[in-house]
A and B are shown apart, each in its own frame.
Chain A
């Protein structure tokens, strides 16, 4: 019961954030918070396959890119309906996940990491060669997307829409993980051989989770473009995939909600470090190495440890 109260409190605070920011005149933070929500959505989606399915995908930025270009391409042709953008993102992201997943899931472990990375790069180069849609330089969008009567060009509106997507994704993934489907997924992560011996369809479950994760991440990509009004191949660079993995690890692998904290932690950290020094990447890199060497369960593990001590 106490947990539900904490989550309800967090959600209420998140809903009220734009109003509070508006009241004190710090509207910059609405944009920053939207970015956190969008990446949180992607991190939650990644955690579904990485944490619960044991599939370390280092190519998830490709799905961000698919969602981003779904918005970019439709908008250049004058279609500004967010519903169309999202449907396209889900369809294209799911299809790419299905095609690459069929191949990548023939392998596991390190090979899977490398293959997802390579497929991500493949899509990156495809985007670079899309000369009609900005190529290497990217594409600036001049028209904001609309969702029925809502104008997604309005910062607070987009924030609330992103929040709704994140909450929906979290609820969906939580339900899924607790369902028989999720149990098969986790069983095949902890002991694939035993899961197979029990007659479970390991491959199909993994593929389904991968497709769902890809589709959700594509939505994050679409929302990202709604926020920035700009599309470029940089959205699917492999550093972005790395950042997503870092977010999941920071938040705690296999915790789903941890992705939200991981995304918040990494984006705020970048924000703070970038304010300190031009060479903030050095500090961030050192921090990541220290994290990998010292702690194993990210921010969630740290919180648990603090709670245990208190």
Chain B
């Protein structure tokens, strides 16, 4: 195998991994603390991408787009949380599935209503449009490299926020015993809204930085949501550390599998079988990974300490 290609694909896997982490962090936090399974998390990702596309189209500024995406999604998240989702925290998971499934339908249709069914495109900012030579003779798109850097920086920031700040302390306390936190006089409703808005902003950041790499269209959140669910199941539901490790693992396996599995199969089974089975197996690889992890550790790689 060509080492340059392997390195490039490994970086692509890392880039997908950090994006998945941005999604998974919010989803796993919301589940760990509020006990809510939020299927509409992908809709917030989509909201971020659309806010980005609309702002870049209006102002021509990439950074303004990012800021708009973060603010818009945090605001949408806070409103949705206060208006609907907060009533569902103590309910059955079934009610949560029903309501958030309804939210997905609403968001997808709203986006179609406002921007139409056609896909929008965002161009990479000129400063990052070139390639960087990471090693001699290995060029890599600067934008993707920037995405990786942003993702790792946000992961670090999130770690500091949760481990070192008062808000993080409340989040951790809320995750281990929310009744007790409320009894100690913390405004738990405000905390929940803040956590939800934070998760929404992270998802929107993922959507916004993914916008130049993908097409921005209605329903774009769902494929990412499914990958994110795989990530949190593998990582252990409720665990941010697990989400980080699993996001990188899943991003890496998915990218490498798609890039190299068909070629590897061709050498083993011959071209005819490989052409038929290769792509199928590559797209199923992460689910097989999940199955293996579950067979060995049903609670995920890093089981959260509580629920």
Interface residues of A (CB under 8 A from B): 50, 56, 58, 103-104, 106-107, 109-111, 113-115, 117-119, 121-122, 125-126, 128-132, 238-239, 242, 245-246, 249, 253, 279, 281-282, 284-289, 291-293, 296
Nearest opposing residue in chain A for B230, CB measure: A118
Residues of B within 8 A of A128 (CB): 283
A292 touches B88 (CB 8 A): yes
The distance from the CB of B79 to the nearest CB of chain A, in whole angstroms, is 13
CB-contact partner of B105 in A56, A111, A249, A288, under 8 A: A288
A126 and B279 CA atoms in complex are apart in Å by 9
Task: Assess whether B120 is interfacial by the CB under 8 Å rule.
Answer: no
Q: A239-B222, A282-B105 are in contact. List 18 more A-B contacts (CB 8 A).
A: A56-B94, A106-B294, A107-B298, A110-B31, A114-B230, A130-B280, A238-B226, A245-B97, A246-B101, A249-B98, A279-B109, A281-B108, A288-B101, A289-B98, A291-B102, A292-B95, A292-B99, A293-B87
Residues of B within 8 A of A118 (CB): 226, 229-230, 233, 287, 290
Nearest opposing residue in chain A for B279, CB measure: A129
Residues of A within 8 A of B237 (CB): 110-111, 114
* A-contact bits for B71-97, CB 8 A (1 contact / 0 none): 000000000000010011001011111
Nearest opposing residue in chain A for B102, CB measure: A288
- Give me 11 A-to-B residue pairs in the complex whose CB atoms sit less than 8 angstroms apart, sorted by A's number: A56-B97, A110-B31, A114-B229, A115-B233, A117-B229, A118-B226, A121-B226, A128-B283, A279-B112, A289-B106, A293-B87
Interface residues of B (CB under 8 A from A): 31, 37, 39, 84, 87-88, 91, 93-99, 101-110, 112-113, 222, 226, 229-230, 232-233, 237, 276, 279-280, 283-284, 287-288, 290-291, 294-295, 298-300
Residues of B within 8 A of A122 (CB): 284, 287-288
Residues of A within 8 A of B280 (CB): 125-126, 129-130
Dominant secondary structure of chain B at its interface with chain A: helix
B298 touches A106 (CB 8 A): yes
A109 and B31 CA atoms in complex are apart in Å by 12
With A106-B298, A282-B113, A288-B98 known to touch, is A114 a contact of B106 (CB < 8 Å)?
A: no
Residues of A within 8 A of B279 (CB): 129
Nearest opposing residue in chain B for A280, CB measure: B109
B294 touches A56 (CB 8 A): no
A287 touches B290 (CB 8 A): no
A289 touches B103 (CB 8 A): yes
Residues of A within 8 A of B276 (CB): 131-132
Residues of A within 8 A of B109 (CB): 279, 281-282, 285
A249 touches B94 (CB 8 A): yes
A245 and B109 CA atoms in complex are apart in Å by 20
The distance from the CB of A132 to the nearest CB of chain B, in whole angstroms, is 7
A75 and B108 CA atoms in complex are apart in Å by 36
